[in-house]
């Protein structure tokens, strides 16, 4: 697996499994896109071990093997792994904090045994590794403005949390098939809902209230993330704004469906996604040109 082939594989993983986010990445300058795809590809690669490997092998051992290969790849060794060459080069090139990678793998390992979260704080603990650190790993590639590196970390964390909470709400039925509930048990109790009600597939008034509450909680994270847009270099802003609108659009569709997330999977229509992309394309092109402009002083 050559480095070029590894980056291409990561791109295809992003295009296949994260269509909305992939569309947003097309608004980035060409040199940034492969690195964002590499980060996404690694996250998806690990997630597939946890989810799709369930019926075919030892997931704990598979994660151990991935961790061992990752350690070797980050040390510059050749591992034969198809995804790690691109991921390891991106980590080294942008000085991505290895503690974020460890936190991510820790949350992936939690998915092997933990299927319920008693409180929202417990869920946040899991999401710190599964979502918040994805935001902070992306941050060096997206380039905070000089002096904004530390201040931009919290909005990046919040955006990661908002994206994952959106997925949790949309994918309640899909997660149930894997035996997992990513809605805090204290919230189910608050609205008089039992796990069996989620499994019933019928969106009752109590479930609508629960899902409406989760939607508003998710919007609160989006609001805290939005202040970080201005902290990024201009060429990265159209991508993040588009991703923000695409994922936020899922919440809009959930609300329009009266919070029926147990039936058909909620999606943002293709026409709407393309409209969001087109609206940010001009700003992306202008920012990319401005950052590539070289001013030559003539004596």
Which band of pLDDT confidence, cut at 50, 70 and 90, is reported for residue 299? very low
pLDDT in tens, 126-173: 999 999 999 999 999 999 999 999 999 999 999 999 999 999 999 999
pLDDT at 53 (0 to 100): 57
Distance from C-alpha of 96 to C-alpha of 229, rounded to nearest angstrom: 20
Task: Read off φ and ψ for residue 267, nearest 5 degrees.
Answer: -135, 155
Instruction: State the average pLDDT for the chain.
Output: 94
Cβ partners under 8 Å of residue 106, min gap 6 = 129
Q: 228: number of CA atoms within 13 Å, CB side? A: 27
Mean pLDDT (whole number) for 38-51: 93
Is the pLDDT at 282 greater than 70? The verdict is: yes
Q: Which two three-digit tokens encode residue 232? A: 């990024």
Q: Hey, is 55 helix, strand or coil?
A: coil
Mean pLDDT (whole number) for 21-44: 96
Structural domains of the chain, ranges and CATH numbers in brackets? 3-285 (1.10.600.10)
pTM over 0.95: no
pLDDT in tens, 111-129: 999 999 999 999 999 999 9
Which band of pLDDT confidence, cut at 50, 70 and 90, is reported for residue 249? very high
Distance from C-alpha of 23 to C-alpha of 243, rounded to nearest angstrom: 8
């Amino acid at each position: 697996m050559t480095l070029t082939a590894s980056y291409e594989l990561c791109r295809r993983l992003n295009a296949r499994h994260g269509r909305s986010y992939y569309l947003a990445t097309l608004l980035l300058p060409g040199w940034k896109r492969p690195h964002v795809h590499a980060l996404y590809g690694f996250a998806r690669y690990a997630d597939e071990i946890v989810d799709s490997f369930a019926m075919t092998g030892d997931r704990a051992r598979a994660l151990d093997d991935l961790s061992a290969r990752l350690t070797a790849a980050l040390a510059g060794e050749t591992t034969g792994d198809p995804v790690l060459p691109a991921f390891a080069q991106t980590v080294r090139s942008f000085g991505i904090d290895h503690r974020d990678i460890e936190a991510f793998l820790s949350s992936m390992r939690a998915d092997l045994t933990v299927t319920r979260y008693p409180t929202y704080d417990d869920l946040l603990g899991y999401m710190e590794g599964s979502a918040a650190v994805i935001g902070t790993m992306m941050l060096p590639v997206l380039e905070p403005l000089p002096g904004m590196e530390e201040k931009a970390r919290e909005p990046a964390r919040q955006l990661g949390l908002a994206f994952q909470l959106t997925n949790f709400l949309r994918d309640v039925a899909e997660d149930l098939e894997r035996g997992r509930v990513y809605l805090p048990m204290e919230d189910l109790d608050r609205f008089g809902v039992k796990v069996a009600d989620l499994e019933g597939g019928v969106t009752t008034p109590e479930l609508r209230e629960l899902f409406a509450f989760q939607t508003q909680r998710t919007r609160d994270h989006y609001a805290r993330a939005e202040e970080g847009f201005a902290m990024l270099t201009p060429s990265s802003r159209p991508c993040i704004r588009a991703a923000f609108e695409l994922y936020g659009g899922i919440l809009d569709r959930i609300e329009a469906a009266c919070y029926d997330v147990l039936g058909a999977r909620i999606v943002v229509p293709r026409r709407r996604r393309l409209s969001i992309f087109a609206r940010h394309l001009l700003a992306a092109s202008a920012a990319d040109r401005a950052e590539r402009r070289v001013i030559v002083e003539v004596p």
